[in-house]
Amino acid sequence: MEKTKTSPLSFIKKWCYDKRLYFFVFFLPVAIMFSAYAFFKIHPIGDSSVLVLDLNGQYVYYYEQFRDAFHGNGSFIYNWSRNLSGEMFGVFAYYLASPFMLILVLLPRTMMATSILILQLAKIGTAAVTFMFFLKKISVQKPKTISLIIFPTMYALMSYMVVQLMDPMWLDGLIYLPLICWGVHRLVDEGKLVPYIVPLALMFIAHFYIGYMVGIFTFFYFCWYCLSREGRILPKKFFSRCVAFGMGTLVALMCAAFVLITVYNSLKLGKFEFTDPDFSLATQFDFLTFITKLFPMSYDTVYPEGMPMIYCGTAVLILVPLFFMNDRITMKEKTSTGLLTFLLVILMYIKPADMAMHGFQVPNWLPYRYSFIFSFLMIVMAFRAFENLEGITAKNIGGIFFGLMVFLFWCERENYSHFQLFETKTSETGDTTNVIQGIWVSMIALAAYFTLIYLIKKYPKSKAVCIVMVGVLAVELFANSADTIDKIDTDVAYSKYTSYEPYMTQTRNAVSMMKEYDPSLFYRMEATFHRTVNDPIGTGYKGISHSSSTMNAPALMMLHKLGYAYGGHYTKYDGTTFMTDALFDIKYLMDKTGNTSFVGTRVKVPEEYKLTTEYTEGDATYKFYNNPNALGLGMVSSPGIEDVSLSEDNPFENQNMVFNALAGTTKEYFTKIPVINSEMENVSTSQLTDGHTKYFPTDTSIAECHIDYVVKMDKDSYLYMYLPTKYERSCNVWIQDEDDYMDGSEPMEYAGQFFVGDNYSIMNLGKFYEGQELRIRITVANDDNEAYWKDQLFYTFDYDSFAQTCADMQKNVLEVTSFKDTYLEGSVNAENDGSVLFTTIPYENGWTITVNGKKVTAEKSLDSLITIPLEQGENKITMKFSPDYWKVSLIITGFGVALLVLIFLFEYKRGKVMKKVLAKANFTAESSEKATTPVINDTTDTTDEPLRIYRPDNDDDEKLRHINEMMKNILGEDEDSGKNDK
């Protein structure tokens, strides 16, 4: 009888119907979160956006660059828009390796902010689906439908998820964690490796950092599962399972090697030394405050002093204690689960243990980045209790409810700032209202869940009770999500959608126009304005400003010592001078008029730069000014440039040294001018042993506290100021002509802030004239009422002498003849033997350099830049970027994937596939051997000889049995392999 063929459409409809619960579980938390966003008026509902903190300042720009590279307009390997230039492997592995990135590259670029919203919602829904899959698999009997709805929804909208939407790269951990844990179950129960290796490898690929944390927990989970199983203290073949676990972990690491080795080499450039961790024994919170974080609407802060984000549903607070009271759950499972929970709390509580979980570094904001693991375990315990309500009594439920209510009354008395009854809100009109907060919401939710859990226990088949419970949960999670978004906005502020679009589109179009106007193979460009320091990489121009966790620390420090704004992991085009513009080939300076959003006051276009072209779009006009002194990507120098050592405290003398070494001159381009008078009002000073002077108010009740310096200009020049310090405290700077100050005819002009992050750089105070006396006032204006600096440096600049030197140097700059992101060719003439080519390309492993066809070894100058030895005369130079570790990582990954395939062939259908592969390989080999056997003078008539079919040797089955036995000895395969021993 013939089988009825099923059409593809019918098959899809049947599949969707069979998986309808998965679809529901996917869209329920997505709908709740989208509703919370809509309540906050996130675009497209309003003018807010999902862009906040690092998502606003870093990730969205990497997404822009990744999208460009994906569509062929950039490189995944190397980029010239980040702190002069640098590898992109690390950025990809750190920020962009998630498969969900496809959402961003497939949707239109102008939808970037909305695409990120879709990506966030997709990760929320997918986390719910994988957790539901996990719950179905770990259940001894068919779980309740209500359980498969409410617990995945709690998991997908736990507090960690809602807060860390600002770090989408971390959220893949919540997706893969349930699959990895299920893989551990399969490994222990059945000896299967593939279900464990695949999700673990994908986790390491998606994000190595969260993968590291999940990997540590996976080991704990493996031990927990072995100890919690029924029967013996340790499961059968425990030691062979340990070997299999180790082997599976190793294979997973090998499969992810192309990411792990890449990011390791990237982090070696500076991230490993980003903090100086203190491993002294200390605790981080008190336990009662920690418990408050389990309740809804308990967000505190994402600053380093914040508490763990562990809320995952009020129902969990009732059900977890019931897990330990449940008669249907074995004492062994309760004990092992209790120990694992205690271990996770201790990891957060003890500072050195917490640092170990963070890769032995102190988290820079957003602490306890693995707290979702604790929430995962709490929800699993709640699920187990809910599935076994028959094992508890009404008195148990009532006792837990009463105890939690007492704790909430105690919290109200303690008056926690992050967990209150009400919060007073002030509207734009000045009206105040009291908004219900966490304690009241917790009381209402506890009462609702107490009633619902009791009713489900009494009426387990009541659909009405289940529907009401889903509704109550949806309202609670919506309230918590909306409240969390609102508090994040107060804490660190979401960006407006209109601050990103049309700004990004207009700026990208202006940059594209400039590239068409000047199609030169290579030049750098910077701007007098920034939305963030990552504007260059997001809008496509080669610049200096950039922020990344995968930074080249020596290059950043070099830029800082030359006077640029610096923040540990970023540099910004503040503090620039004529000399650094020339040195780093800033050929054009982009200015913006019309819509002056994000236009600062620290960088102004010098009058010596001439307007070249402009571009207008909408309400913004972009003007491009040419720098006549730009010195290209590299220039011929004496080898003395390699001996220049930059000091920590004087960027002007550093620039003088560098330029004199390159030009072969001994001039003072920057000239220090002395302070001819100084005055202080309400200021006392003290001297520190490290050379700093501390300035602080004599009388703190008096608001005014300032130091005045009077200087006299030695030439017509710009006046620059720098106050070297190790202790940054914000100060305000004012300037005024001394004559105007003395007669009181004009108020002092505000020059800007100094110190702290972007504002700690060379300050250009303006252009003045020879003999002019100026008063510079520095006011102590910070919460600490103090300021520190070693010296007060005021310098003028000899522009005419500098411009003449640049004109001479431009005769010996590198002429770039071919340029791609990872490859360039150029030529340069060296008049003297022993000369070198000084380049402004940051030094890092991976560059292969040839001079006149001969491979040379790059040297290093200024501790950070590539310098190339030259031959006398004309030199043809090629540079190609392709790190050796990339090839090694691909080989290791290939070997890991091959091992994974081999294991799969062995495990799939109990080795039947392996048997077929071996049989086919043997048959092919014998056929090939027979076909290639020469026939010499063969005149025998074989017409009547029967056709012979060659088959594998008779001992093939014995060979296969031998291989099977060998693999079983490694994996500890049970006789009943293939069955899920629960």
- Counting beta carbons within 10 angstroms of the beta carbon of residue 977, is it exposed (0 to 12), middle (13 to 18) or buried (19 or more)? middle
Residue 747 to residue 627: CA distance in whole angstroms? 34
Lowest mean pLDDT among 18-32, 272-286, 942-956: 942-956
Please state the φ and ψ torsions of residue 722, each to the nearest 5 degrees: -150, 135
Question: In this predicted structure, what is the pLDDT of residue 126?
Answer: 97
- Each residue's pLDDT tens digit, 279-299: 888 999 999 999 999 999 999
Question: In this predicted structure, what is the pLDDT of residue 212?
Answer: 94
Residue 640 to residue 623: CA distance in whole angstroms? 39
Query: Which residue in 628, 626, 631, 629 sits closest to 641, CA to CA?
Result: 631
pLDDT band of residue 150 (cuts 50, 70, 90) is very high
Question: In this predicted structure, what is the pLDDT of residue 981?
Answer: 40
Question: In this predicted structure, what is the pLDDT of residue 864?
Answer: 93
Residue 128 to residue 489: CA distance in whole angstroms? 26
Per cent of the chain over pLDDT 90 is 69
pLDDT band of residue 371 (cuts 50, 70, 90) is very high
Residue 434 to residue 432: CA distance in whole angstroms? 7
Lowest mean pLDDT among 223-237, 306-320, 449-463, 859-873: 223-237
Query: Which residue in 561, 522, 558 sits closest to 543, CA to CA?
Result: 522
pLDDT band of residue 920 (cuts 50, 70, 90) is low
Q: Is the pLDDT of residue 856 over 60?
A: yes
- Each residue's pLDDT tens digit, 111-149: 999 999 999 999 999 999 999 999 999 988 899 999 999
Provide the residue count of the chain: 982
Tokens coding 16 = 């969707």
Q: Is the pLDDT of residue 230 over 80?
A: no
Per cent of the chain over pLDDT 70 is 90
Q: Name the average pLDDT for the chain.
A: 88
- Counting beta carbons within 10 angstroms of the beta carbon of residue 57, is it exposed (0 to 12), middle (13 to 18) or buried (19 or more)? middle
What is the identity of the amino acid at 114?
A: T
Question: In this predicted structure, what is the pLDDT of residue 940?
Answer: 44
Residue 62 to residue 54: CA distance in whole angstroms? 11
Answer for the pair 109, 507: CB distance below 8 angstroms, yes or no: no
Query: Which residue in 538, 758, 512, 587 sits closest to 79, CA to CA?
Result: 538
Query: Which residue in 576, 512, 578, 514 sits closest to 544, CA to CA?
Result: 576
pLDDT band of residue 747 (cuts 50, 70, 90) is confident
Mean pLDDT of 803-808: 94
Q: Is the pLDDT of residue 698 over 50?
A: yes
Question: In this predicted structure, what is the pLDDT of residue 148?
Answer: 95
pLDDT band of residue 926 (cuts 50, 70, 90) is low
Question: In this predicted structure, what is the pLDDT of residue 607?
Answer: 93
Residue with tokens 């009541």: 462
Q: Bridge-partner residues for 816, per DSSP?
A: 826
Distances, alpha carbon 240 to alpha carbons 172, 226, 246, 319, 636, in Å? 31, 12, 10, 36, 64
Q: What is the DSSP letter of 272?
A: G
Residue 129 to residue 175: CA distance in whole angstroms? 8
Query: Which residue in 823, 736, 745 sits closest to 773, CA to CA?
Result: 736
Top mean pLDDT of 19-33, 220-234, 961-975 is at 19-33
Question: In this predicted structure, what is the pLDDT of residue 929?
Answer: 57
Residue 613 to residue 768: CA distance in whole angstroms? 28
Mean pLDDT of 326-351: 93
Question: In this predicted structure, what is the pLDDT of residue 237?
Answer: 78
Residue 921 to residue 326: CA distance in whole angstroms? 56
How open is the CA angle 613-614-616, to the nearest 5 degrees?
160
Q: Is the pLDDT of residue 29 over 60?
A: yes
Q: Is the pLDDT of residue 932 over 90?
A: no
- 430 CB neighbour count, 10 Å cutoff: 6
pLDDT band of residue 273 (cuts 50, 70, 90) is low
605, HSE (Cβ side, Cα atoms, 13 Å)? 23
Residue 39 to residue 31: CA distance in whole angstroms? 12
Q: Is the pLDDT of residue 161 over 70?
A: yes
Q: To the nearest 5 percent, what fractions of the chain are helix, strand and coil?
A: 50, 20, 35
Q: Is the pLDDT of residue 960 over 70?
A: no
Residue 416 to residue 298: CA distance in whole angstroms? 10
| SS3 annotation, 364-389 | CCCCCCCHHHHHHHHHHHHHHHHHCH
Residue with tokens 């819509």: 595
- 454 CB neighbour count, 10 Å cutoff: 16
Q: Bridge-partner residues for 52, per DSSP?
A: 494
SS3 154: helix
Mean pLDDT of 335-360: 93
- Each residue's pLDDT tens digit, 96-107: 889 999 999 999
Question: pTM above 0.75?
Answer: yes
- Taking the mean position of all CA atoms in its chain, how far away is CA 541? 22
Mean pLDDT of 58-86: 92
Q: What is the DSSP letter of 57?
A: I
Lowest mean pLDDT among 397-411, 810-824, 913-927: 913-927
What is the identity of the amino acid at 597?
A: S
Residue 853 to residue 177: CA distance in whole angstroms? 52
Question: In this predicted structure, what is the pLDDT of residue 351?
Answer: 93
Tokens coding 765 = 């105070």
Q: Is the pLDDT of residue 838 over 90?
A: yes
Question: In this predicted structure, what is the pLDDT of residue 925?
Answer: 56
Question: In this predicted structure, what is the pLDDT of residue 701?
Answer: 86
- Each residue's pLDDT tens digit, 487-536: 999 999 999 999 998 999 999 999 999 999 999 999 999 999 988 999 99
Tokens coding 68 = 């460009």
Q: Is the pLDDT of residue 905 over 50?
A: yes
Question: In this predicted structure, what is the pLDDT of residue 318?
Answer: 95
SS3 330: coil
pLDDT band of residue 950 (cuts 50, 70, 90) is very low
Question: In this predicted structure, what is the pLDDT of residue 425?
Answer: 78
Q: Higher pLDDT residue, 925 or 748? A: 748
Q: Which strands, in side-by-side order, build the sheet including 854-856?
A: 815-820, 823-830, 873-881, 847-851, 854-856
Question: In this predicted structure, what is the pLDDT of residue 745?
Answer: 76
Q: Helix 145-156 and helix 463-491: axis angle, to 10°?
A: 0
Q: Which strands, in side-by-side order, build the sheet including 565-566?
A: 546-547, 570-572, 565-566
Residue 617 to residue 507: CA distance in whole angstroms? 9
| SS3 annotation, 817-880 | EEEECCEEEEEEEECCCCCEEEEEEECCCCEEEEECCEEECCEEECCCEEEEECCCEEEEEEEE
Helical segments of 604-694, H only: 651-663
Strand stretches in 63-117, DSSP E: 78-79, 86-87
Question: In this predicted structure, what is the pLDDT of residue 977?
Answer: 43
Mean pLDDT of 776-784: 87
Question: In this predicted structure, what is the pLDDT of residue 958?
Answer: 56
